[in-house]
Chains A and B, each alone.
Chain A
Amino acid sequence: MSMISIKNVSKWYGEFQVLTDCTTKVSKGEVVVVCGPSGSGKSTLIKTVNALEPFQKGEIFVDGISVGDAKTDLPKLRARIGMVFQNFELFPHLSITENLTIAQQRVLGRSLDEAMQKGMHYLDRVGLKAHAGKFPGQLSGGQQQRVAIARALAMDPIAMLFDEPTSALDPEMVNEVLDVMVELAQEGMTMMCVTHEMGFARKVANRVIFMDRGHIVEDCSKDEFFGNPDARSERAKQFLSKILQH
């Protein structure tokens, strides 16, 4: 069963076409890594999945619900999809505890007790229970991103979207975030991750998508993507040789 299904999606910013006829899907429990050069449309594509970015052509279904349909209750749909951003985007005026509980209470209508319990459970899981009373500005980037993951998980999402979750982090903090993501993947969470962390992709991805100038150029299994480099497109080869040098 496909949890996320993207069919022939195109999007324009005025004259500029940022996505061209993108088609792919993410099955339940699958981990799909999206990579590609800067400006290729990775963020735009992943944000169309929870309708943060509208699109003009094609269709997207999440758990059978059409994202592009004007009748769809978008807030309700988004509440079921977790999203983690490059710049964490914790709410800086709220404490860590409030960051974890506010949407549970206001969006899902959970009681404070229930929201606290859930929030603390996930905060503990990302190893930050001791920081519950602090504010986002008092945490390191890696810690903030782990809180952001906990915030998304506390909503009991059916799938998680990640948009370059480690690219704004100092190198020594990348692994603490990747560790949480690997664990999540191994537990069977459905994940769509924009990332250039090929180690992560090798470890847990089922499929790898490569994008270039708004097109999905490659969409294949991890083993095919990494194991059969000769069959890759020129652009993908160039890209891989660049990032694998590091």
Chain B
Amino acid sequence: MDFTQIVPAMPALWEGMLLTLKMLVLAVSGGVALGTVLALMRLSSNPLLSGLAKTYVNYFRSIPLLLVITWFYLAVPMLLNWITGTFVSVGAFTSCLVAFMMFEAAYYCEIVRAGIQSIPRGQLHAAYAVGMTYGQAMRLIILPQAFRKMMPLLLQQSVILFQDTSLVYAVGLMDFLNTARSKGDIVGLPHEFLIFAGAVYFVISFGASTLVKRLQKRLAV
């Protein structure tokens, strides 16, 4: 075992980690936003809206993420091509980002929905009673409370996504894991690099989960 060769590879590994984190932050933001819209649709009294959202969630929860990633890599440019009539190149990063956002939105939707449902109905009535519209009641009263309650679950789901971002190797993106593997292969030390990568994933994920648990305890009081 020779871990010294990892040191010269650090700049490249750091680049990879940046891509991983950028993907994570963007995917979580987009996924939570889309998930919130889906949750509001699912809770709507309009059967068409709630049916659409329900189908969406069931669909994305029933197929593997890897499939979504490769499928979007092929389908998104084709779809754009078909819509705009010209060839647009979207790049692997964007297609992966869209795939993560749409896939994770299905999970965030269920979390946000449970969060909204956990806020007593009286709060919505009180918001309406002072003259708020549905949009204002959600934005100013219900969602801020729901998100506070759901923060631990949203973060936990994001830790899972942090690990799942490594699936971008399928379309050739150089994230942290893919960089580690390729560097390891080049210098002929694949085991060392993979062990190192595993340790980094473990420290970050476990650390984040521990923080989330602590947060959960604080919020529970």
Assuming the contacts A79-B131, A102-B140, asked whether A93 and B126 have C-beta atoms less than 8 A apart, the reply is no
Annotate A69-85 by CB proximity to B: 1 below 8 A, 0 otherwise. 00000111011111101
Closest to A102 in B: B140
Inside 8 A of A92's CB, which chain B residues have their CB? 145
| CB contact between B129 and one of A83, A90, A102, A106 (< 8 Å): that residue | A83
Q: For residue B122, which residues in chain A have a CB less than 8 angstroms away from its CB? A: 85, 87, 89
Q: Which of A50, A106, A108 has the most CB of B within 10 A?
A: A106
Kindly state whether residue A151 has any CB partner on chain B within 8 Å.
yes
B131 touches A85 (CB 8 A): no
Give Cα A224 to B100, complex, Å.
Answer: 70
Nearest Cβ in chain B — how far from A44, in angstroms? 12
Contact B128 A75 (CB under 8 A): yes
Tell me the bound Cα distance from A78 to B136 in angstroms.
Answer: 14
Q: List CB contacts (< 8 Å) of A87-120 with chain B.
A: 87, 89-93, 102-103, 106-108
Using an 8 Å CB-CB cutoff, how does the interface string of A42-84 with B read, 1 for contact, 0 for none? 0000010010100000000000000000000011101111110
Per the bound structure, the CA–CA distance linking A102 and B136 in Å amounts to 11
B136–A106 contact, CB under 8 A? yes
CB–CB A78/B130 < 8 A: yes
Residue pair A151, B125 in contact (C-beta under 8 Å) = no
- B148 touches A (CB below 8 Å): yes
Known: A93-B144, A93-B145. A106 touches B125 (CB 8 A): no
Residue of A nearest to B136 (CB): A106
A152 close to chain B: CB less than 8 A: yes
Interface range on chain A (Cβ under 8 Å from partner) = 20 to 34
Chain B residues touching A, range: 10 to 19
CB distance B129 to A78 under 8 Å?
A: yes
**CB of A22 within 8 Å of the partner chain:** no
Q: Is the CB–CB distance between B129 and A107 below 8 Å?
A: no
Q: CB-CB < 8 A to A90: which residues of B? A: 126
Contacts of A52 in B (CB 8 A): 125, 128-129
Please give, as numbers and ranges, the residues of chain B lying within 8 Å of A103 by CB-CB distance.
130-132
- Chain B residues near A177: list those with CB within 8 A: none
Could you list 24 A-B pairs, sorted by A, with CB under 8 Å?
A: A52-B129, A75-B131, A78-B128, A78-B129, A78-B130, A78-B131, A79-B130, A81-B129, A82-B129, A85-B122, A85-B125, A85-B129, A89-B122, A89-B123, A89-B126, A91-B127, A91-B145, A93-B148, A102-B140, A103-B132, A106-B132, A107-B130, A107-B136, A151-B130
Q: A91-B145, A103-B132, A106-B132 are known contacts; what are 15 more A-B pairs with Cβ within 8 Å?
A: A52-B128, A78-B128, A78-B130, A82-B129, A83-B126, A83-B129, A85-B122, A87-B120, A87-B122, A106-B140, A107-B136, A151-B130, A152-B129, A155-B130, A155-B131
Interface, chain A (partner B; CB < 8 A): 47, 50, 52, 74-76, 78-83, 85, 87, 89-93, 102-103, 106-108, 151-152, 155
